[in-house]
């Protein structure tokens, strides 16, 4: 979720590689990959109780953070039901275009910091994404800061799913750590064929062990990142907490335009964590 | 044997029932669902035509007929493509390239696809005017247009979404295009298309249909009016992040009126006003509410302007349903920055088109730039019907200005001339049609009439809402071209003053010397003797004997005048007691036969009629002056 600025050429080349790999991986799993099936449930929220999200699991980030949460994002995060509510068996994020506390957009960012944190495991959520230029939904994990003694990127960041609203068929998964953060993060994209992420629900997850993070969308394992893939210290053997949010604007997606439709919704059917 | 067979049938019946029930759970079939029995081929041109039959290329009228060829050297990922050579704008064989591709044979079932896709490139960066499908030169029932498609010099893929694929169960119009040179300054260019096909991309999503381009439009109108809904579009978000909007035929939409006692709407999006009141027209496309609405306020029944009676051969019409109109640039130029006037030829009531201006300060009807100016030098009169909506205050006015741009045929220079007529509440009547007929000579400062360019209405916002109809120029011959109608009443019912049809009152003086300036003559019009007053100021007619016409009911007069703007007829009894009757002038459609009830001349003593008198101006022809019952 750190700002990722890459020049256009390298992205293009990278995407091409991804498409090729996806085709390959989705056909058969590489022998050298570590694949586990973690099935012992340690936390789940099925969002079946209408109203405010379960306060024993979810807290909120409020406001605009520093410098638009470090990314020049345009939204003001609130915990109002207009922006975040459990309804119809879903956690519903609503992104609004409205003048609020000096911002032109409102949205929400929920997190399990201090409520649920876990080292390693399988983290997944079933989500229908919002859409449109400048909309930036994310489902990600951030490392505990050890009571403020560590700072990003040393604490580590695992982005399970990020999407640019203008790219409705693409998501990406990334990790950020010391020496490989922001635009230097280690990431890979995944493209749906003959479908989009904003017209139905898809499962986004990682299976994370001591020396690997496997990324999957639905039943397709599309990437594995290991210490050998990162140019710096492997900082993913610690407690991490979950964050879900929908940002507006910022370097990763660019600003919304007149054609961006508001309000936008991100619907989360469930979040489940296994060990 | 018989028994066995029965069992078999029973089994089949049970099986059938089960299947039906299962289907019923899965999906409700709509009443108009038809089993698709047509080919599901999506491909149109993949390096060559696919299953199109032999006679499938139909160029548009006015297009260069042979602009299309199959290029055997260029192609996307191949060496073959559909090539169009867009001609230069001055190509005598056609100044654009446009055609439909219609399957020669049965239509295709395209309901399983969500878009027409193709690859295209051009010899230079161009904006191709329109590309689409669903045009078959038959009903064009499910036509789709993607306008102003930007095509560059490298192959790129284009996606034209289908507004609602379920409609396309039997479609023959699989591709069409129109490419001209307006954006290239008249220079021709080449466009190549390849891999033209319908695809099920699965990524055509987030439909946002619209009517009236998504606007909530308010319309004040009348019973009998029809309004065609325009701006029918469907917008999809594509995998590329692009919002692709296409114009969609009305048949893709389902229209609804909130009040069918005020307005109904048919499947072609034509709204018919059937009563007074308010109604809102909305639409859905494939179950999705369309943006935009038409908010109708119907004022109920509408009185049209009087139907013009001037013979069409003597008319140059700018705006009238009674005549063939001259082409115009516009009925409202929306002249920036000071014009506030809205509206133009917006109203159609029972086939009668009417101009409606609102928020009027000034507005012009122009015929000069995209069309020719109009030569009205042979015309003698100008006509316009005006209905002012609402109160007309004492200082309010409406000027009608005629603008000529002179022999240079251009605005400016030294040869422009214009003049205007100012109408006030002495002429205009609130909420009623008033017919203005004036000699063009009244526009004295309009020194040239050969290059008329504008009719301008100016109120400076004193009058803001008007209807305008029947703007035309006409030529009134100074001399009647035919005789007055021959009377048909029996002699016994008539006391005649001046007519060839009857014995006239003997001894009458047709030109008594009352000090008038009028020149009286009797002239033969097509063999019929006619009384002519030239240069009328006033003119008497002394009866040979006093007449008792109390047994009569009407005074009949035939009159004709091309140039009079005021004319009164008087009946006079001893005293003298006289009473005037105003006659409508000029007579724009030949002789006028007028029956004046004698009661209108009260208090003149009908048993003691001694004289008749006319006053006014101009040259007037009279015939068949008689009393009758």
- Superfamily of B312-474 according to CATH: Galactose-binding lectin (2.60.120.430)
Class of domain A8-274: mainly beta
Q: Which residues in chain B have Cβ-Cβ distances shorter than 8 Å to A261?
A: 206, 208
C-alpha closest to that of B433 among B393, B398, B391, B385: B385
Q: What digits encode the pLDDT tens for the residues B304-343?
A: 999 998 889 999 999 999 999 999 999 999 999 999 999 9
Quote the percentage of chain A above a pLDDT of 70.
Answer: 87
Looking at this predicted complex, what is its ipTM?
Answer: 0.83
How does residue B543 score in pLDDT terms, banded at 50, 70 and 90? Answer: very high
Q: What is the pLDDT of residue A146?
A: 82
On the question of pLDDT at B35 being above 50, the answer is yes
Q: Are strands A170-176 and A84-87 parallel, antiparallel or unpaired?
A: unpaired
CB contact A265 to B (< 8 Å): no
Give the residue extent of every domain in chain B: 43-199, 213-298, 312-474, 491-628
| B213-298 is a CATH 1.10.10.410 domain | no
- Residue pair B476/B588 in contact (Cβ under 8 Å)? The answer is yes
Q: Average pLDDT in the A13-20 region?
A: 38
pLDDT class for B280, splitting at 50, 70, 90? very high
Q: Mean pLDDT lowest for which of A23-27, A95-99, A256-260?
A: A23-27
For B429-448, b/e burial (b = at least 16 CB within 10 A) is eeeebbebbebbeebeebeb
CATH level 3 topology of B43-199? Jelly Rolls (2.60.120)
pLDDT digits (tens, 9 = 90+) for A141-179: 999 888 888 899 999 999 999 999 999 999 999 999 999
**Average pLDDT of B48-63?**
94
| Tens digit of each residue's pLDDT (9 = 90 or more) over B133-143 | 999 999 999 99
Q: CB of A83 within 8 A of CB of A93?
A: yes
Q: Chain B: nearest CA to A195, how far in angstroms?
A: 5
Mean pLDDT for the stretch of residues B555-579: 94
Q: Which among B358, B366, B365, B364 has a CA at the least distance from the CA of B340? A: B358
pLDDT of residue B7: 38
- Tell me which of B6 and A132 has the higher pLDDT: A132
Among residues A157, A167, A184, A265, the one annotated as catalytic is A157
Q: What are phi and psi of B621, to 5 degrees?
A: -105, 135
Roughly how many angstroms between the first and final C-alpha of chain A, as a whole number? 24
Which of the four pLDDT bands, split at 50, 70 and 90, describes residue B587? confident
CA distance B558 to B625: 7
**Number of Cβ atoms within 10 Å of the Cβ of B80:** 18
Strands B43-45 and B189-199: antiparallel
> In the predicted model, is pLDDT for residue B12 greater than 50?
no
Classify residue B561 as exposed, middle or buried by CB count within 10 Å of its CB (0-12, 13-18, 19+). buried
Cβ count within 10 A of residue B601? 23
Q: What is the pLDDT of residue B590?
A: 85
| pLDDT tens profile A136-145 | 999 999 998 8
Query: pLDDT tens-digit profile of B591-613?
Result: 999 999 999 999 999 999 999 99
B202 in contact with A, Cβ within 8 Å: yes
**Residue in the structure block whose two tokens are 């009908």:** B606
Question: Which of B588, B224, B593 is closest to B380 using CA atoms?
Answer: B588
Superfamily name and number for B491-628: Galactose-binding lectin (2.60.120.430)
Domain edges within chain A: 8-274
Residue owning tokens 């161009």: B126
A167 contact B CB<8A: yes
Q: In which band, very low, low, confident or very high, does the pLDDT at B347 lie, cut at 50, 70 and 90?
A: confident
User: pTM of the entire structure?
Assistant: 0.71
Tens of pLDDT, residue by residue over B368-399, are: 999 999 999 999 999 999 999 989 999 999 99
Domains B43-199 and B491-628 alike in fold:
yes
Selected for mutation to probe chain B from A136, A168, A257 (highest B CB count within 10 Å) is A168
Return the pLDDT at B34. Answer: 55
**A157, A2 Cβ separation under 8 angstroms:** yes
DSSP-derived secondary structure letter, B145: E
Look-up: residue for tokens 């992205």? A11
Of A133, A196, A261, the CB nearest to B203: A196
State the pLDDT at residue A7: 38
């Amino acid at each position: 979720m750190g700002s990722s600025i890459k020049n256009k050429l390298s992205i293009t080349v990278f995407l091409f590689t991804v498409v090729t790999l996806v085709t390959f991986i989705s056909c058969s799993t590489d022998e050298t990959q570590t694949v586990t099936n973690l099935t012992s449930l340690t936390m789940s929220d099925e969002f079946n109780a209408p109203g405010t999200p379960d306060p024993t699991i979810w807290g909120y980030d409020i406001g605009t953070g520093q410098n638009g949460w470090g990314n020049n994002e345009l939204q003001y995060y609130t915990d109002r039901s207009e922006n975040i509510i459990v309804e119809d068996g879903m956690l519903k994020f609503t992104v609004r275009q409205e003048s609020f506390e000096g911002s032109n957009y409102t949205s929400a960012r929920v997190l399990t910091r201090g409520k649920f944190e876990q080292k390693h495991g399988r983290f997944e959520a079933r989500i229908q994404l919002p859409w449109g230029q400048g909309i930036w939904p994310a489902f990600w994990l951030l490392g505990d800061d050890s009571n403020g003694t560590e700072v990003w990127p040393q604490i580590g960041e695992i982005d399970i799913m990020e999407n640019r609203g203008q790219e409705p068929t693409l998501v990406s998964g990334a990790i950020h750590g010391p020496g490989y953060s922001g635009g230097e993060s280690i990431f890979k994209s995944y493209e749906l064929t003959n479908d989009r992420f904003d017209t139905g629900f898809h499962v986004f997850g990682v299976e994370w062990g001591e020396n690997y993070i496997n990324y999957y969308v639905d039943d397709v394992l599309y990437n594995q990142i290991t210490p050998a893939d990162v140019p710096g210290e492997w900082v993913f053997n610690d407690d991490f907490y979950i964050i879900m949010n929908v940002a507006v604007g910022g370097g990763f997606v660019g600003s919304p335009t007149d054609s961006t439709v508001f309000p936008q919704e991100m619907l989360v059917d469930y979040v489940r964590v296994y060990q | 044997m018989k028994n066995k067979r029965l069992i078999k049938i029973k089994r089949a019946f049970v099986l059938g029932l089960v299947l039906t029930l299962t289907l019923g759970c899965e999906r409700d079939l709509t009443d108009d669902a038809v089993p698709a029995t047509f080919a599901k081929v999506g491909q149109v041109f993949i390096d060559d035509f696919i299953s199109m039959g032999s006679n499938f290329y139909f160029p548009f009228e006015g297009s260069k007929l042979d602009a299309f060829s199959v290029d055997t050297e260029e192609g996307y990922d191949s060496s073959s493509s559909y090539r169009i050579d867009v001609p230069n704008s001055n190509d005598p064989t056609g100044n654009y390239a446009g055609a439909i591709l219609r399957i020669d044979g049965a239509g295709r079932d395209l309901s399983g696809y969500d878009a027409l896709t193709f690859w295209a490139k051009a010899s230079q960066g161009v904006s191709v005017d329109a590309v689409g499908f669903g045009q078959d030169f038959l009903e064009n029932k499910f036509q789709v247009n993607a306008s102003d498609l930007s095509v560059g010099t490298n192959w790129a893929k284009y996606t034209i979404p289908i507004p609602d694929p379920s409609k396309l169960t039997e479609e023959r119009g699989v591709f069409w295009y129109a490419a001209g040179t307006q954006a290239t300054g008249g220079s021709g260019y080449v466009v190549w298309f390849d891999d033209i096909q319908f695809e099920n991309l699965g990524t055509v999503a987030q439909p946002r249909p619209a009517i009236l381009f998504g606007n909530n439009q308010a319309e004040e109108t009348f019973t009998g009016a029809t309004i065609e809904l325009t701006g029918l579009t469907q917008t999809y978000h594509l995998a590329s992040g692009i919002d692709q909007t296409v114009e969609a035929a009305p048949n893709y939409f389902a229209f609804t009126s909130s009040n069918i006692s005020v307005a109904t709407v048919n499947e072609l999006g034509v709204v018919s006003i059937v009563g007074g009141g308010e109604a809102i027209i909305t639409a859905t496309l494939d179950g999705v509410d369309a943006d935009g609405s038409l908010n109708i306020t119907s004022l109920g029944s509408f009185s049209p302007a009087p139907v013009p009676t001037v013979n069409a051969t003597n008319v140059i019409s700018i705006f009238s349903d009674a005549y063939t109109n001259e082409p115009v640039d516009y009925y409202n130029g929306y002249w920036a920055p000071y014009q506030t006037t809205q509206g133009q030829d917006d109203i159609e009531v029972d086939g009668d088109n009417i101009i409606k201006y609102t928020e009027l300060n000034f507005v012009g009807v122009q015929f000069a730039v995209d069309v020719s100016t109009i030569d009205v030098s042979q015309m003698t009169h100008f006509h316009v019907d005006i209905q002012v909506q609402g109160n007309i205050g004492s200082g309010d006015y409406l000027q009608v200005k005629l603008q000529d741009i002179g022999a240079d045929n251009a605005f400016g220079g030294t040869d422009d001339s214009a003049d205007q007529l100012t109408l006030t509440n002495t002429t205009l009547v609130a909420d009623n049609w008033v017919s203005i007929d004036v000699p063009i000579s009244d526009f004295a400062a309009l020194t040239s009439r050969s290059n008329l360019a504008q009719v301008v209405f100016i109120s400076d916002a004193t009058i803001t809402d008007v209807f305008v109809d029947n703007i035309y120029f006409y030529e009134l011959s100074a001399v009647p071209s035919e005789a007055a109608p021959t009377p048909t009443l029996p002699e016994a019912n008539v006391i005649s003053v001046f007519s060839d049809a009857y014995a006239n009152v003997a001894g009458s003086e047709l030109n008594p010397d009352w000090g008038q300036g009028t020149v009286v003559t009797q002239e033969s019009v097509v063999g019929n003797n006619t009384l002519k007053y030239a240069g009328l100021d006033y003119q008497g007619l002394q009866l040979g004997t006093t007449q008792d016409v109390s047994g009569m009911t009407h005074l009949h007069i035939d009159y004709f005048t091309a140039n009079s703007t005021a004319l009164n007829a008087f009946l006079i009894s001893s005293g003298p007691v006289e009473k005037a009757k105003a006659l409508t002038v000029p007579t724009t459609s030949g002789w006028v036969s007028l029956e004046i009830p004698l009661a209108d001349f009260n208090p003149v003593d009908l048993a003691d009629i001694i004289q008749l008198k006319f006053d006014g101006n101009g040259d007037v022809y009279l015939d068949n002056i008689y009393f009758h019952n």
